[in-house]
Amino acid sequence: MAALINVVWALGLALWSYAIWRIAPALYALLKPSPLRYIPGAPAPSWLFGNLKQLSSVEEPIIQEGWVEKYGKTIKFKGWFSRDTLFTMDTKAINYILTHSSDYPKPEASRFNLSQFLGNGVLVVEGEQHRKQRRIINPAFGPAQIRELTGIFVDKSLQLRDVWKNEVLAHGDSARIDVVKGLSKMTLDVIGLAGFNYSFDALNVHGKPNELNEVFRTIFGTAGKRGSVFGMLKFIFPPLRLIPTERSKRVTKAQRDMRRIGMQLIAEKKADVMRASAQKKKIDNGLDGLQNRDLLTLLIKANMATDLPEDHRLSDEDVLAQVPTFLVAGHETTSTATTWCLYALSHALEVQQKLREELLDIPTDHPTMDELQELPYLDAVIRETMRVYPPVPTAARIAGIDDVIPLNEPYTDIRGAVHDGIRVEKGTAIDVPLLALHRSKELWGEDALEFRPERWESIPDTVHSVPGVWSHLMTFLGGPRACIGYRFSIVEMKALVFTLVRAFEFELAVSPQNIEKQGVVIRRPFVKSEKHKGSQLPVHVKLYKRE
């Protein structure tokens, strides 16, 4: 008995010391003067939540925009426990933060959340490890590789078209369809086939439940839930992660299954690369001989190249971590972007018709990547969608070092002093605006808030300062941590919009005022009166008949 009490005591003490060890630096960070203390910003309504509740009470970043109008481009707001967070619309500062990605990593909390499910994939790791992974993975996402995958994008678009067509025909002339469901299945099927040559077959209504699909649902069906207190505690006290809960047991099993399936895929791809190289005698001599054209095969081939320095090679663990990473990064982002495109088209009916006329000029249902890329109005519609409805609205970063961030436009602090740089300290939180930059009238002109694809015929010079990797937009971020899959998703979206707008006429089934944009990580549409149903977009879909 006494021994037991001693053990309990010792355990308690250990946990307590650990808590102090963990919390002390955080407490110190909260109590010491913030390097942002003289940067202007609005007062926080709550100590605990800072400005966070206020900021998430509206759909668009209009509160930040109001502050920027009042105080200037460089401001701060308060996060959890009223911690100062830097917010700047200065494109030079943003460019600096994004290009110095090793000095401005992701905050530990968001990395922890991601790494729970993604392992140490390229979305999660930092520094040298990230550079190493990116070097091996980059070539798989090049234009020539995406060209090879376009057939998958088009085939799956046609399959979705047929699913919706059958639904419409079952109702006569037109049906009310939640487009989120179909688009989400379609993009899952695509990332399965294009990413790993794995068939989820999510669009197949008669198909059997698929193993990886179930695993994926288990992991992300529960991960999507709003943060619980226990979840938060587990972040602060890693030992608590060992305590099994109903959910954690299911997730652990799913992770085990994911691992097994991933390892099996890797073994298959390796065998393919070995076989092809035995045939060709030389492994790094083009794709010829490979049966698989998927991203994972290309990655493994690059990783097995004989001329690769040994310390550049990824371990099996690292390769494995890319499987859930591609699934997560490539699936709902692309389906959400396409959903917003249908949303925009289904209340800008003249844009929809003008686009349809361009698309119907192409005499085939099976366009190549080049044919898709050469359609100017389709291109403008996709760019405008990505500008007005970027699926990821902001990116969180912290300063990894004490630094001064350079500015285009000096800011005046609350004491009246003018600064041409922002002083930050290791640990300073930064909120990088994506959506807010796309809404800037200074950059895009007075009609910045309108959906108007025609603007892409001649965009203002001011937008050249936006440090995005694609199209002067922040949608895919910029710098060394920009989205690796942007070409992939643009061509996939074009294949979808090409196929669907040729086949159907779309009209919103609820008033636009009844659609709400929600989500911190990915902004999705919800029907206000049916929030409990999750993200959805009901649209009247009608077969298009050519006159």
Ligand X SMILES: *[C@@H]1O[C@H](CO)[C@@H](O)[C@H](O)[C@H]1NC(C)=O
110 binds ligand X (CB under 6 A): yes
* Shortest Å distance, C-beta 243 to ligand HEM: 30
**Which of ligand HEM, ligand X, none does residue 232 bind (CB under 5 to 8 Å by kind)?**
ligand X
Question: Residue 164 or 389: which CB sits closer to ligand HEM?
Answer: 389
* Shortest Å distance, C-beta 379 to ligand HEM: 15
142 binds ligand X (CB under 6 A): no
Which of 257, 147, 149, 163 lies closest to 201, judged by CA? 163
483 is in an annotated binding site: yes
| Selected binder of ligand HEM within 164, 200, 488, 526 (CB under 6 A) | 488
| Selected binder of ligand HEM within 41, 485, 525, 538 (CB under 6 A) | 485
Beta bridge pairs of residue 395: 432
Question: Residue 411 or 525: which CB sits closer to ligand HEM?
Answer: 525
| Selected binder of ligand X within 292, 373, 489, 499 (CB under 6 A) | 292
| Selected binder of ligand X within 232, 271, 401, 417 (CB under 6 A) | 232
Binding mask 14-53 for ligand HEM (x = CB under 6 A): ----------------------------------------
- N-term to C-term CA, the chain: 89
- What DSSP state is assigned to residue 47? T
CB under 6 A: which stretch of 22-30, 287-295, 342-350, 362-370 binds ligand X? 287-295
Determine the Cα angle at 187 with ends 184 and 191, to 5°. 140
Token digits for 331? 């699936």
**How far apart, in whole angstroms, are the C-alpha atoms of residue 43 and residue 60?**
20
In the chain, the amino acid numbered 350 is E
Question: Residue 101 or 499: which CB sits closer to ligand HEM?
Answer: 101
**How far apart, in whole angstroms, are the C-alpha atoms of residue 369 and residue 346?**
25
113 binds ligand X (CB under 6 A): yes
The maximal CA–CA distance of the chain, rounded, in angstroms, is 90
231 binds ligand X (CB under 6 A): yes
Sheet holding 394-398, edge to edge: 74-78, 84-88, 429-433, 394-398
* Shortest Å distance, C-beta 301 to ligand HEM: 17
| Beta-carbon contacts of residue 390 (< 8 Å; ≥ 6 apart) | 337, 434, 435, 438, 473, 474, 475, 523
Token digits for 422? 């922002």
345 binds ligand HEM (CB under 6 A): no
216 binds ligand HEM (CB under 6 A): no
* Shortest Å distance, C-beta 126 to ligand HEM: 9
Q: Are 519 and 505 in contact (CB under 8 A)?
A: no
Count of residues touching ligand X (by CB under 6 A): 13
395 binds ligand HEM (CB under 6 A): yes
Token digits for 34? 């913030």
**How far apart, in whole angstroms, are the C-alpha atoms of residue 60 and residue 439?**
10
97 binds ligand HEM (CB under 6 A): no
User: 225-238 as b/e, with b when 16 or more CB fall inside 10 Å?
Assistant: eeeeeebeebbeee
* Residues of span 322-341 touching ligand HEM by CB under 6 A: 325-326, 329-330, 333-334, 337
**How far apart, in whole angstroms, are the C-alpha atoms of residue 67 and residue 182?**
40
CB under 6 A: which stretch of 285-293, 357-365, 465-473, 505-513 binds ligand X? 285-293
Which of 92, 90, 85 lies closest to 55, judged by CA? 85
The number of C-alpha atoms within 13 Å of 3 and in the hemisphere containing its C-beta is 0
Question: Residue 46 or 315: which CB sits closer to ligand X?
Answer: 46
List of residues contacting ligand X (CB under 6 A) = 109-110, 113, 193, 197, 227-228, 231-232, 291-294
Residues within the interface to ligand HEM (CB under 6 A):
122-123, 134, 191, 325-326, 329-330, 333-334, 337, 391-392, 395, 475-477, 481, 483-485, 488-489
